[in-house]
Structure 1
Amino acid sequence: MVDRRTFTTLLAGTIAAPTLAFGKTMTSRNVFYSAVGPELTAYGVDVDDATLSKQGTVSTPANIQYAWPHPSRRYLYVVSSSGGPAAGDTTGSTHVANAFAIDPATGALKPHGEAVKLATRPIHASVDRSGHYLLTAYNKPSSLTVHRINADGTLGDRVEQPNKLDTGIYAHQIRVTPDNKHVILITRGNNAPSDNPVDTGSIKTFAFKDGVLTDLAAIAPGDGMHFGPRHLDFHPTKPWVYVSIESQNQIAVYKLDDATGLSRNPLFTMKNTLSDPDSKLRQAAGPIHVSPDGRFVYLTNRAWWTIDFEGKKVFSGGENSVAVFSINQTTGEPALIQNADGHGNYLRTFNIDPSGKLLLAAPLWAMAMRDGSTVTAGLVLYRVGSDGKLTFARKYDIDASEQKQQFWAGMVTLA
């Protein structure tokens, strides 16, 4: 495991970064997309060599917040906003959803249909299993919308919700269950150690039919004041749902439920994700993904806070890592087996290729260190062993900063 002292030393060190080749012939069917500010760049992925090749870039009207592919893998839906952290956490005035057609040979993107205006800043979006609806979550005010996806893949009208919905405080992710009958909205709340004011976190579940949602349950331990969920992912074959608990740096396991979408109580008490659980530094768990074979679950630990040092803001310390858990195939219980160094600051998004052999992580921005060095943003590639553990392969530096962040990245296997 990587303890805090070792991590800070590694993070401060210089990492030699290879150069991304542009226009190299694709050698696999996997494309990794990286969004920096309003620009979305496609990279071909060579899983065996653990390398990337830059394919091309498109732009959106504002800073990209999230993206999700259509089940057909022919279209990519992107939500963007002029608000958010890169804009000083202002509300912004431009909020849109765009559809892009994916070139089946190269993964290159082409605008597809008209953009759809959104009312406020979107934080997450996903597509239902049928490919008929785009679901979008908004954090301030916490809310959601459903838009139709037309037969040609373009975005259609908003589905009006006849019922008032409980959308909690600070929505952060919206997903449809594998049976396409329920929607789960993760609402993080505000309950990290230094949050003020403090708000409850919760997992909201809804019945889902023809684009219409109906309240089912609000799930949280106790009163939700010490529960800050961020993201979830589904096991590929079992009814197990893995949830990253951001504010408490924990992982929880729930079970799919026909009546409420998700069990009201976790299958297991929440487990810490840090290599140093006793650290007094503020930390935050990040996104979470179950491996394609269902044997492992991965999530990131993030630390991005700064202190004043010799007239400038520098990294205050903490753990930026990928936590690896093995999954008991009988019970679903996760067990921490590795904390792999993040080789960057604030791993906000990552993905695993469909073969389960390569994990790609995307640090959000560059970070100044106390020793005068700067840790770059970039694309970090890890080989995944048969035991689920990660081995660093390489990092490609990219230009991302506090003003122009790498806010989303993800992988699509071409149709």
Structure 2
Amino acid sequence: MSSPTPSNNASNPRRVAIFNSVGNVVTRWELDAENGTLERRASIAMPSVVQYGWPHPSGQYLYVTSTDSERGSMSITGSEHYLLALKLDDDGGLSLHGEAQRLRQRAVHNSVDGEGRYALTCYTAPSHVTVHPIRADGTLGQQIEQGDQLDLGFFCHQVLPTPSNRSVVMAFRGHNPSPDKPDGIPGSLKVLDFADGQLTSRQDVMPFGKKGYGYGPRHVAFHPAKPWVYVVVELQNELHMHQMIDDRLSPEPLFTTSLIQEPAVPGIVQIGGAIHVHPRGHVVYASNRVSAKTSPIGAFPFDAGENSIAVFAIDQETGEPKAIQFADPHGFHVRCFTIDPSGTVLIAATLAAMSVGTDDDRQTVPAGLSLFRIADDGRLTFLRRYDIDLEPGVQQMWVRAVDLDAAVPSESLPQVLAASNP
């Protein structure tokens, strides 16, 4: 599929909306990409805590998942699990659109196929995937029952349609060794064929001949023009690059590199996070995160480890990623970040507040939205941050940029997709 060329015409700037979630509230912001500023426009409350969201290809709707389940639970807990459609109003508003679809458990990631006909949702424990139809008016239909028994892995973290729209890639993170499971639990990437709302298991990827042990992929991202797939391997703090030919991944990564600058500090939960390829395809970004138990003052105590946004230049002949920068996110634990469609601004959402300093002199750095200018070579320069005040136990889970002007009307998407895939 051909990719649009990012536009940065200051005389005719594109309207871009930024969406983030804090607890059960989704907020819409307007981005001024030229000046690197945000203006809050509207907020709307969901029935439970928002986990993730994905826009319709038309730019007219947004699909979010919410839950009242405890994060990290290894079983089904809670009862308020939903997939919801939101309408993006022309006046900057945000409204519920159609009937919310109940889900059986906490969702961790959701996406929309390239034609905007189906919403895909995945779940961690137990691993599961569902498909809901998207009607012509953008509302959601009832879940489509899957005809085949799917071969799924452990602790799914992403379901993402491939550029061809004929398959999806799912990332199963597995688990590191523990006292109960000294060998850990294997992770994998799986490719499933996708047609008319039906999924069919086709390929397992468990590299290095270890049957998935010691392999914990979290998210993948596709290059906009080349057959290259970049993978954040969360548990091992690595970035891998696979080739994808005819919707099948190379069994082994062609390139691997560390996500972090120094080896992980023993006793610190150092993990990889989100990943995005720049719209021009010349760099790939990934977030590094440090987790910790909650401190008495209500913020995560930061003692050691690396919180950063890693920038990797992509060799345009081979696809090899090479680190060129590790940018300070001016906050802690970037679970999600997003790039505006012009490719000139990156927005990082920090999950929670962090307390820094000694026990006698600790200061709290609040959660926030950090904005960066993206240089021509992909490097990041910090512009500003917008502090996000969090109530106890509330976190900022997600952020996403949506192009409102370059959107293709939903009724035209099948013809456009066919024209770009002769």
Counterpart contact for 2:22–2:396, Cα < 8 Å: yes
> Does 1:240 pair with 2:225?
no
Segments of structure 2 that go 5 or more residues without pairing to the other structure are 1-12, 408-422
- The match for 1:380 among 356, 370, 375 is 370
The question of 1:411 aligning with 2:401 is answered yes
1:8-87 pair list within 5 angstroms: 28-85=14-71
1:199 aligns with 2:199: no
Taking a change above 3 Å as real, the CA distance of residues 317 and 175 of structure 1, as seen in their structure-2 partners, is: same
Provide closer, same or farther for how the CA distance between residues 278 and 125 of structure 1 changes in structure 2, counting only shifts above 3 A: closer
Change (3 A) 1:74 1:174: same
Specify the code of the residue in structure 2 equivalent to 1:379. Answer: L
Counterpart of 2:317? 330
1:110 Cα deviation from its structure 2 partner: 1.0
1:66, 1:309 → 2: CA distance? Answer: 28
**Alignment match of 1:267 (pick from 254, 263, 269):** 254
2:165 paired with 1:175: no
User: C-alpha separation between the residues in 2 aligned to 1:310 and 1:141?
Assistant: 33
Q: CA deviation at 1:104?
A: 3.1
Change (3 A) 1:314 1:173: same
Matches within 5 A, 1:289-368: 289-306=276-293, 314-368=301-355
Give per-residue Cα distances to partners, 1:98-135, cap 9 Å, x unaligned: 101111342x2111100000000000000001111000
Cα displacement (A) at 1:359:
0.5
Residues 170, 272 of structure 1: CA spacing in aligned structure 2 closer, same or farther, 3 A cutoff? Answer: same
Cα 1:311–1:40, aligned 2, differ >3 Å: closer, same or farther? closer
- Separation in 2 of the partners of 1:155 and 1:310? 42
Q: Name stretches of at least 5 consecutive residues in structure 1 with no aligned partner.
A: 1-26
Residue identity opposite 1:180 in structure 2: N
Which amino acid in the other structure matches residue 373 of structure 1? Q
Total equivalences in the alignment: 386
Q: Give 2:212's match in structure 1, choosing from 219, 224, 235.
A: 224
2:120 counterpart of 1:141:
no
Q: Which residue number corresponds to residue 285 of structure 1? A: 272
One-letter amino acid matched to 2:251: R
- Quote the offset at 1:89 in angstroms: 9.2
Aligned position for 2:8: none
Instruction: Give yes or no for contact 1:306–1:315 (8 Å, CA) kept in 2.
Output: no
SS at match of 2:142: strand
**2:90 matched residue in structure 1:** 104
What is the CA distance between 1:331 and its match in structure 2? 0.5
Structure-2 change in CA distance of 1:312 and 1:350 (3 Å): closer
* Corresponding residue SS for 2:362: coil
Q: Could you say what secondary structure the match of 1:365 adopts?
A: coil
Residue number in structure 1 paired with 2:241: 253
Q: 1:150: which partner in 2?
A: 135
Please give the per-residue CA displacement for 1:252-297, whole angstroms capped at 9, x wherever unaligned.
0111121x532222122x2101121364343101000000100000
1:315 Cα offset (Å): 2.3
TM-score, length-scaled by structure 2 = 0.87
Opposite residue 340 of structure 1, the aligned amino acid is A
Q: Write out per-residue CA displacement over residues 373-413 of structure 1, whole angstroms, 9 at most, x where no aligned residue.
A: 00110000011111211111111101125611101111111
Contact kept? 1:250, 1:271, Cα under 8 Å: yes
Q: Can you list the C-alpha shifts for 1:237-263, whole angstroms capped at 9, x where unaligned?
A: 0010101000011000111121x5322
Equivalent position amino acid for 2:388 in 1: I
CA deviation digits over 1:67-112, x for unaligned, max 9?
0001111110011000133999982211001101111342x21111
Distance in structure 1 (CA, Å) of the matches to 2:133 and 2:215: 33
8 Å contact kept, 1:31–1:411: yes
Q: Which amino acid aligns with 2:126?
A: P
Instruction: Give the CA deviation at 1:310.
Output: 11
Contact kept, 8 Å, 1:203 with 1:229, in 2: the verdict is yes
Distance 1:195 1:215, change over 3 A: farther
- From the superposition, tell whether residues 249 and 64 of structure 1 become closer, same or farther in structure 2 (CA, over 3 Å): same
AA aligned opposite 1:358 = V
Deviation of the 1:316 alpha carbon? 3.0
C-alpha distance 230-362 of structure 1, shift in aligned 2 (>3 A): same
Confirm or deny: 8 A CA contact 2:325 2:379 kept in the other structure: yes
Q: Judging changes above 3 Å, is the alpha-carbon distance between structure 1 residues 405 and 335 closer, same or farther for their aligned structure 2 residues? A: same
| Greater Cα shift, 277-286 or 215-224 | 277-286
Whether contact under 8 Å (2:335, 2:398) holds in the other structure is yes
Measured on the aligned residues, the alpha-carbon RMSD in Å equals 2.2
Deviations 1:182-227, CA, capped at 9 Å, x for gaps:
1111111112x66853211100111111011111111011221111
| SS, match of residue 207 in structure 1 | strand
Give yes or no for the alignment of 1:214 onto 2:200: yes
CA apart distance, 1:305 = 1.4
| 2:115 aligned partner | 130
Q: Is the 8 A contact 1:177 1:261 kept in 2?
A: no
